[in-house]
Structure 1
Amino acid sequence: MLSRTLALFAALAALATPPAVPAAQAGTGLDVVSARLLPGWRQPDGTHLAGLELVLAQGWKTYWRAPGDAGIPPRFDWSGSDNLSGVAISWPVPRVFDQNGMRSIVYADRVVLPLHVRPARGGADVRISARIDLGVCEDICIPAQVSVAGVLPADARRPDPAIAAALAARPLSAEEADVSAVTCVLAPAQDGLGLRVEVEMPGAPGVKAAVIATAAPHVWVSEPALSAAAGRLAAESRLVHVDGHAFALDRDGVRVTLLDGASAVDIRGCGSR
């Protein structure tokens, strides 16, 4: 199972960007996902808050930023845009979906992804032209591609309720969830490292799933095994470089997301002991 998973990870990382397709049309030709740019509003600090709305056909799902055991992580190509310095995405709380013994982290029906857009030239409109590669899944999982384009007006000031609601649905930060300590314990393991993340916070036994990611793009992280007691949770994973190389773990780059079904906690970095 590990070798098959690593092979899939490596193959996805090596995929060439597929050719462009018309806006709101799946790359396979199946009309199962559409996309729309919500122009949003310009904030006092000069950042423009926009939104990417994805609508899926009934029964279909698409993947969160970390797709889980079986899935295709979303990719964003903003290179066709004008007056764009960068984009950061806020991810609303996803669902944990189990199928055939494999776990995926998904969105279903409709999701709005808030986009924190940084203009290259302050006070000017931003013209967005983006292509997004997605995985979509029903009984089978297939790659898809959507495109969006539009203008983010510099003088827009009225908040969009759909974007505001999506921002409110984001995971809590460690501070907001009253996390008092996060510790990473490393140990040698077959082909890589064993990682045990220990989190001290109220409500730890209610956590149903955890996702661990690192700052190293070519390090595969297994699905964590969870154990919890009053005020403490432990998540244990294996870390393996997809090319079999040795690697060092940057504890500041460890990101742990804890999911309890209705809410989530997003934790950045961990200490040692």
Structure 2
Amino acid sequence: MKSRLAILSALLCLPGLVFADAMYDDVIRAELRPGWRLANGDHMAALHLSLAPGWKTYWRAPGETGIPPLFDWRGSQTRAIAVEWPAPHVFYQSGMRSVGYKGEVVLPLRVSVKGKGRDVRLSGTIDLGICKDVCLPHRVHVEAILPATGGKPDPSIVAALADLPFSAAEAGVRGVSCDVRLDAGGVTLRTEIDMNRTGGAPETVIETADPDLWVADPATRWEGDTLISETRVSHASGQPFALNRSDVRITVLTEQLAVDIEGCRR
């Protein structure tokens, strides 16, 4: 993943990329679902995005040509906000891969509130990408009051939580290994995941904890019950770097399941 400056610089160079303005406001609608207060005092809310037919938006790791979403919750009466990501889809257009959602998506928000037992204001500005024939950076503003009492589980949020990827343990992953080899200007990364084979062509998304590292779209294949992915990792500055295997995050996407794997075990 690149730093924000590197991402914006790359976007400016993408062919066909223009910046969205008010004429595209009808392409995407954003609202906050106020949700309900949890037993531990936190609050479960959600960002609900609705897209016009044929349009898509991007996941947290959007692929080489995607636009990663950026959240700014300043002005909210909260301590922290964690975005939960339902399993995304992989799209191919003109030979390029992107990862995201089309139609509608509900992103659950786990909110740590300031002060227990009172209503709080959640206010956010989200910079995201929307894409059809062209890809556009777009900004939406959302605001809602999160009620301390009277809220009950929202079926849309509950369904989105149920669609989160399985953990490695839940999916029966038996082992994960990462092999790192130096090459000119970066490293090649090969991951091997020992897990039960599922139907359909597999896809993987590989992330690191360092925002200045750029991970190319992996080539992924099954060899028996081992899922193998190979990719290249480089630093936004072009300088040498160390890749911490325990910080590697792998998301496996198949027709039957999604699995979120954090860290290589060897």
Q: How many corresponding residue pairs?
A: 257
Q: TM-score, normalised by structure 1?
A: 0.88
> Residue 10 in 1 paired to residue 6 in 2?
yes
Distance 1:8 1:39, change over 3 A: closer
Q: Measure, in 1, the Cα distance between the counterparts of 2:34 and 2:2.
A: 39
> Residue 50 in 1 paired to residue 45 in 2?
yes
Residue 48 of structure 1 aligns to which amino acid in structure 2?
A: H
Q: Measure, in 2, the Cα distance between the counterparts of 1:245 and 1:156.
A: 54
Match of 2:27 among 32, 41, 52: 32
Match of 1:66, SS state, is: coil
Identical positions, percent: 49
Q: Measure, in 2, the Cα distance between the counterparts of 1:13 and 1:159.
A: 42
Q: CA shift at 1:271, angstroms?
A: 2.1
* Alignment match, 1:122: 116
Q: Measure, in 1, the Cα distance between the counterparts of 2:2 and 2:48.
A: 31
* Alignment match, 1:193: 187
Q: Measure, in 1, the Cα distance between the counterparts of 2:3 and 2:141.
A: 28
* Alignment match, 1:88: 82
* Alignment match, 1:105: 99
* Alignment match, 2:233: 239
Distance 1:7 1:147, change over 3 A: closer
Match of 1:60 among 55, 67, 88: 55
Q: TM-score, normalised by structure 2?
A: 0.91
* Alignment match, 1:260: 254
Q: CA shift at 1:261, angstroms?
A: 3.2
Q: CA shift at 1:94, angstroms?
A: 1.1
Q: Measure, in 1, the Cα distance between the counterparts of 2:83 and 2:201.
A: 24
Distance 1:80 1:251, change over 3 A: same
Residue 51 of structure 1 aligns to which amino acid in structure 2?
A: A
Contact 1:182–1:271 at 8 Å: present in 2 too?
yes
Alignment RMSD, CA only? Answer: 2.1
Contact 1:85–1:118 at 8 Å: present in 2 too?
yes
Deviations 1:74-132 (A, max 9, x none): 010000212x0111111111111000110001211111000001112222222011001
Deviations 1:193-227 (A, max 9, x none): 11111101112574521000000001000111112
Distance 1:50 1:225, change over 3 A: same
Q: Measure, in 2, the Cα distance between the counterparts of 1:203 and 1:136.
A: 33
Match of 2:54, SS state, is: coil
Match of 1:135 among 106, 129, 132: 129
Match of 1:96, SS state, is: strand
